[in-house]
Chain A
Amino acid sequence: MRVWFYGDDINTDMLFPGKYTYTCSKPEEIKPHLLEDLDPEFAKAVQPGDIIIAGRNFGCGSSREQPVVGLKAVGVAAVIAKSFARIFYRAGINQGLLLIEAPDAVEFYQPGMAVELDAAAGIIRIGEREFSFPKPPPEILGIVEAGGLLEFTRKRLRERAVKR
């Protein structure tokens, strides 16, 4: 597991350049361009289980969901940031990608420190310290547990159809 560490205001153009927005939608097309203008090494070296730690306002910019779809597809376990931009946070819920707002943990983290994540318990361990993060509200948890918004929607529509 590797930690990728970035700063504040990492925007959607850095995460997935706008020039590909209307030509790449599938995870396989997205993967090679992930973080292309921010950190060209990322797409080459990222492994399932890796974690991204970043500063404030991660994912600001476009409603482009490719960064979230791509990060999920390469198996990023979580993005831990001081804060997230709104549409990006929503996209994380919709794709079932774990986005954790933990400003104290990010503040504490120094490159090279060991990071462990226990998502079920809501705990991040960095070096010797533990940071807890709250579970999402039940309305949102349903979406994440169903495996994303589309699966959740299909489930609801089928339940409705049965009731009728």
Chain B
Amino acid sequence: MGMTFAEKIFARKTGRQAVKAGEIVFCKPDRILMHDNAAAITDKVLKDLTEFGLADPEQVVIVLDHTVPAVDEKTATGHKRIREFVQKYGIKRFFDIGTGVCHQVMVEKRLVLPGMVVVGSDSHTCSYGAVNAFATGIDRTEAAALLLTGETWFKVPESIRIFLKGRLQELVTAKDLILTIIGKIGADGADYCSVEFWGDVGHLTLDDRFTIANMGVEMGAKNAVFPVDEITKGFLGAIGIERKEWQDVWADGDAVYRQELTFEMDKVVPVVATPHKVDNCKPAGELKDVEVQQCLIGTCTNGRASDFGLAAEIIGKRKVSPKTRLLLLPASKSELEKALDAGDIQTLVEAGGVLLPPGCGPCLGAHQGVLAPGERCISTANRNFRGRMGCRDAEIYLASPATVAASALTGRITDPREVM
């Protein structure tokens, strides 16, 4: 009997012929990602590190991104302690403030390759399924233990196979597709599962796949993954990775799945996740009476040059409505540079957009773009939980960069096809 992607990758990692969903296996992840939370993580094991040492400095990646630049003395002190730790233990894979959101940095700095197992103390670590990695979130304590041992346990997940058919229509994006999928499956529909994307994935760019895999955790998935094809190879080649450096993995045709679903991409329309759950999805066209005081384009979900390009195309020479404000939050310095080269940041800033430094910014509600009571924000981020953007009595709507750009023009939730 065939194996799923998850079964195959853990069979390889444990040197076995076969493993089955439900088994518990121990293995050494190829990478352990931490970010600003590395201060709290290393604090847990400071004494132990002196006694036992760091298992493998090559395994560790730290990216400062969550509260950058530092917000106050406490966060500044956290950053300082992380820089000292990096020095002391010879962590080469350290990226200081301004490099970008950890997930984008992991992929663009060549730290994640097809067929790798990656864990990170951030729930959106699942993003690297875009490049065929088994990537999943862990907590701080587990990251701390991994610093000491280098290995951890995994319950081999059951899998869900999603067939994608056809292609997305103009001004309908990968974000609309994944919100549609989450709306259908539900916030817990893929709990504990590995989600595999099959079918016409050749119509999806690497950026599209990143957006989709990033939001896997919003349907409860352990990981969400795409096969390696010409698009993946093109991306890897462009960032200087040679073919011999990776070995991709994909499921057998006769593997066993908990569930199989099909989505017709041609039928997807611009959708919006309404407060306060990611699976509360409605067509954007049904929400045109909803006024928004803040519009956010960016984060690890949709802060790439292609997202700013789409937004700039929609806004053109027009201005952001005086009834709202537009924040621009690039996923990384490299994506910011690409968007600058294309002239899209200039277009968006001239329209009234406010450029924030690459990082997580308002997405987690710690600083930069926190909402006031009674305010509504339409955002390209991945979560609309109550209180998420720093205020319990505010509302967050999630949408594609096209829908957010269109909404910035009108000051109310707007289907992008209505303003083009």
A interface residues (Cβ-Cβ under 8 A, vs B) = 8-9, 11-14, 17-19, 21-23, 25, 36-37, 56-57, 60-65, 68, 83-87, 90-91, 94-95, 137, 139-140, 148-150, 152-154, 156-157, 161
Contacts and interface: CB of A to CB of B under 8 A. Distances in A.
A56 B219 CA distance: 12
Given A19-B390, A62-B122, A156-B149, 7 more contacts: A19-B370, A21-B364, A22-B366, A63-B138, A65-B139, A140-B153, A157-B52
Interface residues of B, number: 53
Contacts of B217: 87
Contacts of B145: 94, 149-150, 152-153
Contacts of B222: 86
Interface pairs A-B: 3 shortest CB-CB: A57-B188, A37-B387, A65-B139
Nearest to B383: A61
Given A23-B74, A90-B138, A157-B52, A85 B188 contact: yes
A90 B140 CA distance: 11
18 contacts: A8-B188, A9-B187, A14-B386, A14-B387, A19-B370, A22-B39, A23-B74, A37-B386, A63-B120, A64-B139, A65-B139, A65-B140, A86-B191, A86-B192, A87-B217, A90-B142, A150-B48, A153-B148
B40 A13 contact: no
A154 B44 CA distance: 12
Given A23-B75, A94-B141, A139-B153, A86 B220 contact: yes
B214 interface: no
A163 B72 CA distance: 47
Nearest to A137: B24
Contact of A9 (B45, B51, B188): B188
Given A63-B122, A91-B141, A137-B24, A21 B366 contact: yes
A13 B192 contact: no
Interface string B385-420: 111101010000000000000000000000000000
A25 B75 CA distance: 12
Contact of A56 (B40, B75, B122, B188): B188
A63 B137 CA distance: 6
B149 A157 contact: yes
Interface string B356-388: 000000001110001000000000000101111
Nearest to B144: A150
